[in-house]
Structure 1
Amino acid sequence: MARQFPPLARRRARAMRQDATDAEAILWSYLRNRCLNGFKFRRQVPIGPYIADFVCHDRRLIVELDGFQHAGDEADLSRDRYLVSLGYRVLRFWNQEVYQSPDAVACHIVEVLEGRA
């Protein structure tokens, strides 16, 4: 059965997919079409009151990209606690990490997906 999200959340997620940051576009090129060792990811997925950047539902993994405006952000900690309470593991990367070393970011994600990290 398909998940039902409030229309506002679906519209906002769709708008966020169409207006991706450069870092999101770079990482999505690694995650889309099962390119990352066959794991399926979706992007800008509504989960409860939040929209997660990238989600692998099979492995209950959420990948978030953050700009420096998120440094020490209590809202991010609260959001992570909520997502963890639903059984997800949350990985956070700085946008700068994706710009400088996208292969390293992708490798770390694979390690987590395969239970090696």
Structure 2
Amino acid sequence: MRFPGNVRELRNLAERVGVTVRQMGSWDASRLRRLLAGSGGVQPAPVEPAQAPIVDRSKGDMAERSRLRTTLDANGWRRKDTGQYLGISRKVLWEEILKYQIFDEEPVTGESE
């Protein structure tokens, strides 16, 4: 794929795609094509339909995600302290944070997603 803009424009496009995917919970090929088409001449490669969401939104996984968020908040987002509290290494905690797409700027709510 060829991008006609500069690095700043490409970064902004990548952020928009990331936000869209995060909001949707999975890849939505038609929405991503519209984002790419609206970015000024990018010709997207053919996209195969998504086979699975990025984050499994099952109750068990959402409960684990919520538990991790609560523990991170309680420890001031210090991964070392959080890992010790949970009995896991910082590396494993980091992998879980990536797996569940946990971001420290998320508002803490009492309801599940």
TM-score (norm 1): 0.23
Q: Which has the higher strand share?
A: 1
TM-score (norm 2): 0.24
Structure showing greater Rg: 2
Q: Which has the higher helix share?
A: 2
